[in-house]
Structure 1
Amino acid sequence: MDIESYRDYCLAKKGVSEGFPFDEKTLVFKVGGKMFALTDVDLFESINLKCEPEYAIELRAEYAGIVAGYHMSKTHWNTVKVNQDVPDALLIKLIDLSYDLVYQSLPKSKREEIEKGA
């Protein structure tokens, strides 16, 4: 996956915004104001994604390209290296999972607002 495909995929989701809240190179995608994906736009070597804790452990055991989230909660975030042993289909699934986890954690009123705006 290249950075353009990644960006397009994330932005196609309902209620997603993008920005650089930390510095000029860390691109962050949010839904309802909460992060679900971030990457270094200069290097695009990996993507940090939210994950269910048990599934995160399983993924880390199965793929060398999935490790505990860099600079994130090691329990709830994975760093997925884009050009290693993680197939693009799985990467897409993990982006979806991260988005869904964050979206479902939003207050009902925020989810309804996103649904109306889409």
Structure 2
Amino acid sequence: MEPRDLVATAAERAHELPGAEQENPFGPEWDVYKVRGRVFLLIPLDDTGRVTLKSHPDDSVALRETFADIVPGYHMNKKHWITLIPGSSLDAELVTELVTESYRLVVEKLPRGQRPVDPELFGRLAP
């Protein structure tokens, strides 16, 4: 994926998610996407085209081993965050899936009354 496509795909999916909000708490250089005040996606507004999001620790290891363009989270806890960098191993479907999963991981940690969706069902394929 090209840098602008990676950023656009991630941001577009984030905007579709129930209760998601875009903020700039670190200044105009970063778009930060939150659900109920908790971060699930960070996009630096520079030319790198990278995207940082939450990932289950076991999944993040597997993703980094499988995809050359997924690395440990840039300036984040390397166990719980991954960074997607532009490259040929990523496609729009994977990016959309990873943003959705990051959102779900954050939602499942919210108190039940604050959850905009059921994290057990949201974004999962029907059996």
- Class of the TM-score when normalised by the shorter of the 2 chains: 0.7 to 0.9
- Residue 99 of structure 2 corresponds to 95
Cα pair distance change 1:44/1:15, threshold 3 Å: farther
2:104 counterpart SS class: helix
Percent identity of paired positions between Structure 1 and Structure 2? 31
- Residue 11 of structure 1 corresponds to 15
CA contact (8 A) 1:16 1:30 kept: yes
1:54 aligns with 2:58: yes
1:94 counterpart SS class: helix
TM-score, normalisation: structure 2:
0.81
1:32 aligns with 2:36: yes
1:67 counterpart SS class: strand
Unaligned runs of 5+ in 2: 118-127
| Offset, 1:44 | 5.1
Output the CA distance in 2 between the equivalents of 1:32 and 1:44: 28
TM-score, normalisation: structure 1:
0.87
Unaligned runs of 5+ in 1: none
Output the CA distance in 1 between the equivalents of 2:64 and 2:85: 11
- Residue 23 of structure 1 corresponds to 27
Cα pair distance change 1:66/1:32, threshold 3 Å: same
Output the CA distance in 2 between the equivalents of 1:44 and 1:90: 19
Q: What count of residue pairs does the alignment treat as equivalent? A: 113
1:101 counterpart SS class: helix
